[in-house]
């Protein structure tokens, strides 16, 4: 599987909670990092998702928000992963920020240069990556 999204994480399905139309799917990544996705019930059925099976969480870098000092923040985004900034690549308009979140996983975000500067994002600094459960695509082999 080759895809353009930079963030592809392998994990184990730890929970599935179906609603009328959508389901909440929980994955545990390496080192126990949780990821929550909201997908349609039809997708759960088509992928034959079941607790205990391996699946992938896929998140486009443009869907990831970066923040600092968020440990006590109340935010509606279900997925908040904090860690150390591993890399910063500045471009003429945007900045790529890579955050090591544990278990050998790094999440990439593309944010504006102005935002990166206002947040004081630097390699080796602390940052949190946030993304909504509806921004997660689930894949299986």
Residue-range domains of the chain with CATH: 7-59+134-139 (2.40.50.100), 61-130 (2.40.50.100)
The predicted-structure confidence for 16-36, as pLDDT tens digits, reads as follows 999 999 999 999 998 889 999
Distance CA 57, CA 37 (A): 8
Q: Are 120 and 66 in contact (CB under 8 A)?
A: no
pTM (whole model) above 0.85: yes
**What mean pLDDT do residues 57-67 have?**
97
Q: Are 137 and 58 in contact (CB under 8 A)?
A: yes
Average pLDDT of the chain to the nearest whole number: 95
The neighbour count for residue 89, using CB atoms within 10 Å, is 11
Q: Please give the radius of gyration of the chain, using alpha carbons only, rounded to the nearest integer.
A: 15
The predicted-structure confidence for 82-111, as pLDDT tens digits, reads as follows 999 999 999 999 999 999 999 999 999 999
Residues 6+ apart with CB under 8 A from 132: 63, 76, 77, 78, 79
The predicted-structure confidence for 113-124, as pLDDT tens digits, reads as follows 999 999 999 999
């Amino acid at each position: 599987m080759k895809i353009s999204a930079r963030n592809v994480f392998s994990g184990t399905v730890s929970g599935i909670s179906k609603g009328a139309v959508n389901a909440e799917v929980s994955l545990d990544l390496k080192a126990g990092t949780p990821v929550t996705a909201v997908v349609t019930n039809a997708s759960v059925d088509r992928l034959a998702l079941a607790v205990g099976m391996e699946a992938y969480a896929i998140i486009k870098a443009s869907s990831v928000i970066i923040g600092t000092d968020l440990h006590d923040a109340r935010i509606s985004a279900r997925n908040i992963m904090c860690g150390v900034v591993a890399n910063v690549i500045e471009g003429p308009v945007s900045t790529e920020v890579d955050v090591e979140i544990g278990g050998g996983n790094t999440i990439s975000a593309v944010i504006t240069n102005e935002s990166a500067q206002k947040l004081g994002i630097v390699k080796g600094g602390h940052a949190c990556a946030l993304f909504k459960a509806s921004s997660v695509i689930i894949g299986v082999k």
